[in-house]
Structure 1
Amino acid sequence: MGSTSERAEYDALIIGAGFGGYSMLPRLGLRVKLYERGSGPGGVWFWNQYPGARVDSDLPVYQLFDRELWEDFTFSERFPGWRELQSYFAHVEKKLDLRKDIEYCKNVESADWDSTRCRWLITCSDGTEAECKWMYLSVGSSSKTYVPNIKGSSDFRGELYHTAHWPYYGASLKNKRIAVIGTGASGIQVIQESGKQSKHLTVYQRTPNLCLPMVQRKLDPVEEQKKKDAGIYAEAFKKCERTPGGILYESIDKNTFDDTPEEREKFYQSLLKDGGLQFWVAGYKDVMTDQKANDAAYDFWRRMVLKRINNPAKGELLAPEVPPHPYGAKRPSLEQNYFEVMNQDNVDIVDVNRFPIEEINATGVKTAAGQVEVDMIIFATGFDGLTGGLTDIQIRGTDGRTLMQHWAEGVKTSIGIAVPKFPNMFYLFGPQAPSTFSSGPSCIQSQARWLARVVEKLENDKIESFEGTEASADEWLKMVGEKWDATLISKGKISLPVLLLWSKYSLLAQLVVGCEYSRKESSTPELGRRTAHLYANA
């Protein structure tokens, strides 16, 4: 580290210019700076520029809830694409005059806690340094890409891309032989676009995506303005803070078999007709706790999908008789014409469970089923989710160990926003919080409001150091585990327990102080500092 005179000094430093950073920055009445490694705002929507990239949350949910921002910006589609989201972030930045407090192309490599001075010491990849009292990690759940280590990838002589690092100038799909590896959300979207334009498309699938009809539509700006004037937008944002998923709909107060088969069929049809994630979250209340109820939902979904596929072999791969996991145990993606594209004669599916990829060579992809010659390979393999962006930074806490070392044997947090041994550090939209099982903006804004109030209280009380206790983390982990095990989500082969009852966060967001804390003398009494501890019974 350089001398203190060479370091920039802030009260608070925010890392990441996505929804998290833009939710925290206006709320902190401190000397604050935001560092963003990209050259523009948007977070994941700065990087996600692949063909077809768009959100899966209905409008008006997917935005910041401040009237000042939404009253003069109207999205043009029910599910906005990446270009419009970038325009939205530019609008937010200008409207709230945030640019003066942001440094772009600023990549944080490490952060070390100085217990003597109660400050975080920050080092960036460009050699610059900074220090701050409060550090907010707003890197999100999808900031560190996952690229599979496939033999021979560097030998490929064609075009090779990852969806999260698509060239900003674009890449033509027209009349090319394309291989897409992965069928998650980005895979579904890029496959739909590739199928329209490619000469031939080969999809390498590990797990079928039990995706739902998006039912995309253009929005009439005149009609949207009427909704704003009538208070419909404002009421929608209030509702998002009360529902389990932070969206406009939730499950009905009825069990699956309370209805007759005919009534169930009609209800399921209505959910699919409206589109979006409703079939996943607005169905019967027992769908994620009762296996037979879940089987009934899957059976209906499968029958609807098979009607769109005339190739039995493809149908079994895309909608197998035996589901790969309980329906909804993994967040389903939204599709517009995915199954029609997969049904095309110029599209093949390779089941990598049966035929694993052996290598990528100069001209294509090789499995036990044979060699496929391609001009372009697209990795739609997603991210090192939730924890990857956090552990990618070398963050050292009070004991000198990194966050990655602390989590080597399992993730443990205090109420999904803080980590013991890492004082004055908070994260948004990460592990053991609602995260991927909720709408991002809803979850993030709830967390940001609460954290801003907590820090304001701590500053007023002249608290220098604030951290979660091991006891609070143990209690939180136990509670999350119990909620997790009580549902079928635990059978979805998801590596980290991220499920949490949204009602807990709804309560947190309403608290003025937001937590209980205890004062004690610090290890440096000559400085007269005090520390506070975060408990799980917030």
Structure 2
Amino acid sequence: MSTNTQQPSLSNQEFDVLVVGAGFGGVYQLHHLRQAGFSVKVFEAGGNLGGTWYWNRYPGARVDSDFSIYQFSMEELWKDWNWSERFPGQKELVEYFDYVDKKLDLRRDITFDTRVTAAHFDTTANRWVVSTQNGITVRPRFLILCTGFASKPLYPDYKGLDTFKGIIHHTYGWPQEGVEWAGKRVGVIGTGASGVQVIQECGPDVAHLTVFQRTPNLALPMVQHKVSEKTQTKMKEEMYPYLFRRREQTFAGFHFDTINTGIFDVSPEERYLKLDELWTTGGFNYWLGAHTGIFTDQRTNDEVYTFWQKRVKARINDPEMQRKLAPIVAPHPFGTKRPCLEQQYYEVYNQPNVTLVDINENPIAEITPKGVKTRDGVEHELDILVLATGFDAVTGSIAQIDIRGTDGVLIGEKWGKGLSTYLGLTSANFPNMFFLYGPHGPTAFCNGPTCVEVQGDWIIDCIKDMRDKHFTRIDPTKVAEDGWVKYVNDIFSAGLWNKAKSWYTGANVPGKVIESLNFTGGVPLYLRACREAAEKGYEGFVFSGVEKA
């Protein structure tokens, strides 16, 4: 349900900045640009703030970053807010955004239920002309896309999908009122993050659960626990400022960092104890706090996977389930597909009412009115079908909008031939347009709020600098863009990433170019490149259109 009415009075207005999206990135831009004296509006397709946490309402939806850094770093916000768990759930994150909204008075500049459908650049006025699904047209000087990296859901192209007579939902479009599945026959297609979370949530309650898995998720123990207000008060007094500053110094923007020493440079005993420590600490410590060699050296990666396989296998009773969920030979190098954090995911498969179908061995033939039929002729009858089939990630959120460059080419058409950005913030022929937590940024390997703040600060500083120098237009050059693409790809090609079919490379989307969609060199290296460009007078950009006094 919408939380505000449409604002037709906005039509044809000119203002400084239009921000698309009211998640972490959009909120950060709105608040800080307003503080800097700019006129700013936000268009949000959903009915409330929260971005991914507004849309992803499926049971079990939960963040995979520790509470202490999965929030804005502004003291005015964290000093009065307390979380209930180490890894907060969707409902608590929605409550957090409501708190932030009230604290910062955000809503007065946000128009909800307003999906941006098209934008083109007026080269005479040096302004974007932006249109929405509900008939609003505005003319901002700058367009900032805070659409997130996962807001274009993928639906499988199975024969008969529209014939299913039961309840069917993609995890991204889960109804606000929820779905009652106690005592029902439930099928889940997909075992990515949303699939794992739904499976472990519904497993204990349903009459029968059928999971259709293509690739086993190399999930990690969450080690969830409650967090007291007393603990958080002490952390705020002694640690929070250090934690937030530390984010810019670590590979993935967390409070912990990767280990730079070689895994085989220490004794087998020390190696085992370190892996055990990372494992029992929980969260992404075993992935993004492990030896950096897991991303570049197959032998190191094999060692880390072997430890993972033994720990997970011990939790699964049935040998056939062990083979499907924790195979002796890794389905892909560990960590080259995003692991999920789980709480009792593997224990679900010990239940007698759970069936696991490996659709590599036994593909889905069609969806029938009664359920899912596999190639072996078996029809798995279902009351509820859950599509945990993921997203056209990183680029899809932006490319789905009709955004045209100064050469008349759609952004989706340009990127469809191969992703090209400069600094993971801009793209040539799209002047005065910025994006964050998206293509060619540290996105998939970075704590979300960390990414939107470090990228957001760069954008804000750039726009302020333009105002101070009275420029009305900024263009990234094609030469700079080509250089950045090469830099991103050189770092990527030095790793093991291409040995996995994942959304990191667009391999999950039929027909999409297989390439690096993210900057895989880590946050410090990324920040250095962005800051050096700014310090050199925004090297790689051309400023023009001196503003009239």
> In structure 2, how many angstroms separate the alpha carbons of the residues matched to 1:517 and 1:311?
59
The SS at the match of 2:293 is coil
Choose the corresponding residue for 2:367, options 330, 343, 360.
Answer: 360
The alpha carbon displacement at 1:276 in A equals: 0.4
CA distance in 2 between partners of 1:251 and 1:500 (Å): 13
**Match among 162, 165, 179 for residue 171 of structure 1:** 179
8 A Cα contact 2:475 2:542, kept in partner: no
Unaligned regions of 5+ residues in structure 1, if any?
Answer: 531-538
Which whole-Å CA distance do the structure 2 matches of 1:447 and 1:65 have between them? 14
Counterpart in 2 of 1:315? 322
CA–CA distance in structure 2, aligned partners of residues 512 and 357 of structure 1: 50
The answer to whether residue 100 in structure 2 is matched with residue 92 in structure 1 is yes
Alignment check: 8 A CA contact 1:457 1:513 kept: no
- Residue pair 1:446, 1:509 contacting (<8 A) in 2 also: no
Residue 18 (structure 1) aligned with residue 39 (structure 2): no
SS of 1:287 mapped into structure 2: helix
Counterpart contact for 1:521–1:529, Cα < 8 Å: no
1:272 aligns with 2:272: no
Partner of 1:303: 310
Preserved CA contact (<8 Å) 1:107 1:124: yes
Aligned: 1:326 with 2:333: yes
Superposition deviation, residue 489 in structure 1: 2.0
Q: Does 1:254 align with 2:254?
A: no
Deviations 1:312-341 (A, max 9, x none): 111111111221110011111100000000
| Secondary structure of residue in 1 paired with 2:258 | coil
Q: Distance in 1 between matches of 2:221 and 2:542?
A: 55
For residues 292 and 114 of structure 1, do their structure 2 counterparts lie closer, same or farther at Cα, with a shift above 3 Å needed? Answer: same
Map 1:172-211 → 2, pairs under 5 A: 172-211=180-219
Q: Does the Cα contact within 8 Å between 2:186 and 2:383 map onto a contact in 1? A: yes
One-letter amino acid matched to 2:420: K
CA distance in 1, matches of 2:185, 2:448: 35
Give the 3-state SS of the residue equivalent to 2:520 in structure 1.
coil
Q: Report the alpha carbon displacement of residue 250 of structure 1 after superposing the two structures with TM.
A: 1.2
- Could you say which residue in structure 2 is the equivalent of 1:282? 289
Within 5 A, what are the aligned runs for 1:483-502?
483-493=491-501, 494-495=505-506, 496-497=515-516, 498-501=518-521, 502=523
Show the counterpart of 1:227: 235
Q: Aligned AA for 1:77?
A: E
The amino acid of 1:382's aligned partner reads G
What do the CA deviations read for 1:483-503 (whole angstroms, capped 9, x no partner)?
A: 101111232223341133211
**Correspondence for 1:55 among 59, 63, 69:** 63
Question: Is this contact kept in 1: 2:476–2:540, CA < 8 A?
Answer: no
The counterpart of 1:443, out of the listed 433, 451, 456, is 451
The offset of 1:128, in angstroms, is: 1.4
| SS in structure 2 at match of 1:467 | strand
Code of the aligned partner of 1:263: E
User: Cα RMSD over matched residues?
Assistant: 1.8
Task: Quote the residue 1:338 is aligned against.
Answer: 345
Tell me which amino acid in the other structure corresponds to 1:134.
Answer: F
Aligned to 1:534: none
Q: Alpha-carbon deviation of 1:6?
A: 5.0
1:48·1:163 contact (CA, 8 Å) conserved in 2?
A: yes
Quote the Cα distance in structure 1 between the aligned partners of 2:55 and 2:198. Answer: 15
**Paired residue for 1:118?**
126
What is the distance in 2 between the residues matched to 1:379 and 1:333? 17
Displacement of 1:130: 0.6
1:481 aligned onto 2:489: yes
Alignment partners' CA distance in 2, 1:16 and 1:272? 36
Q: Which of 478, 482, 505 in structure 1 is aligned with 2:526? A: 505
Give the 3 Å change call, closer, same or farther, for CA 95–463 of structure 1 in structure 2.
same
Name the aligned partner's letter for residue 22 of structure 1. Answer: V
The offset of 1:465, in angstroms, is: 1.2
CA deviations on 1:352-394 (whole Å, 9 max, x unpaired) are 1111111111110011131100000000111110111101110
- Equivalent-residue separation in structure 1 for 2:204 and 2:452 (angstroms): 36
Per-residue CA distance 1:381-437 (angstroms, 9 max, x = gap): 111101111011100110111101111211000010100000000001111110011
| 1:260 CA drift (Å) | 2.0
Is there any run of 5+ residues in structure 2 with no aligned partner, and where? 1-8, 507-514
CA distance in 1, matches of 2:123, 2:349: 57
Contact 2:186/2:208 (8 A) holds in 1: yes
Q: Quick one: distance in 2 between partners of 1:184 and 1:85?
A: 21
* Alpha carbons 1:242, 1:506 under 8 Å: kept: no
| 2:422/2:484 contact within 8 Å kept | yes
Partner secondary structure for residue 13 of structure 1: strand
Cα distance per residue 1:295-314 (max 9 Å; x no partner): 01101100111101111111
- Asked if structure 1 preserves the Cα contact closer than 8 Å seen for 2:45 and 2:113, the reply is yes
2:279 and 2:473 mapped to 1: Cα distance?
Answer: 50
Give a deviation string over 1:47-96, Cα, whole Å, max 9, x none: 11100000001120111100011000111100000000000011111111
Residues 10 and 137 of structure 2 are in contact (CA less than 8 Å); yes or no, is this contact kept in structure 1?
no
| Distance of 1:520 and 1:8 partners within structure 2 | 27
Counterpart mapping for 1:408-419 below 5 A: 408-419=416-427
| d(CA) in 2 for partners of 1:351, 1:426 | 42
Residue 507 of structure 1 and its aligned partner are, at CA, apart by 3.0
Shift of residue 288, structure 1, vs aligned partner: 1.7
Shift of 1:5: 10
* Aligned residue identity for 1:500: T
The answer on 1:77 being equivalent to 2:77 is no
Q: Distance in 1 between matches of 2:39 and 2:230?
A: 41
Q: How many residues align?
A: 522
Q: 1:177 to 1:68 in 2, by over 3 A?
A: same
**Percent pairwise identity:** 42
**Counterpart in 2 of 1:455?**
463
The separation in 1 between residues aligned to 2:10 and 2:31, in whole angstroms, is: 27
The corresponding residue for 1:373 is 381
In 2: Cα distance, 1:520 partner to 1:251 partner: 37
Question: 1 CA distance for matches of 2:67 and 2:469?
Answer: 40
- Cα deviation, 1:17-51, whole Å, max 9, x if unaligned, reads 00110111111131110000111000000011100
Determine whether 1:36 maps to 2:44.
yes
| Cα separation, partners in 2 of 1:43 and 1:10, compared to 1, 3 Å | same
> CA offsets per residue over residues 90-132 of structure 1, 9 Å max, x none?
1111111111111111111000111111110011111111111
Provide the rounded CA distance (Å) in 2 between the counterparts of 1:161 and 1:325.
29
Give the counterpart letter for 1:26 in structure 2.
H
Secondary structure of the equivalent of 2:203?
Answer: helix
Residues 533, 540 of structure 2: 8 Å contact kept: no
1-structure distance, mates of 2:81, 2:102: 12
Structure 2 length-normalised TM: 0.92
SS at match of 1:407: helix
Task: After TM superposition, give the deviation of residue 222 of structure 1 in Å.
Answer: 1.3
2:4 match: none
Give yes or no for contact 1:450–1:511 (8 Å, CA) kept in 2.
Answer: no
Alpha-carbon distance in 1 for matches of 2:10, 2:61 = 44
**Matched letter for residue 413 of structure 1:** T
One-letter code aligned to 2:14: E
1:516 aligns with 2:538: yes
SS in 2 for 1:269: helix
Question: Are the counterparts in 2 of residues 141 and 385 from structure 1 also a CA contact under 8 Å?
Answer: yes
The aligned amino acid for 1:499 is: F
**Pairwise CA distance, 1:252:** 2.1
Q: Conserved in 2, the CA contact under 8 Å of 1:205 and 1:351?
A: yes
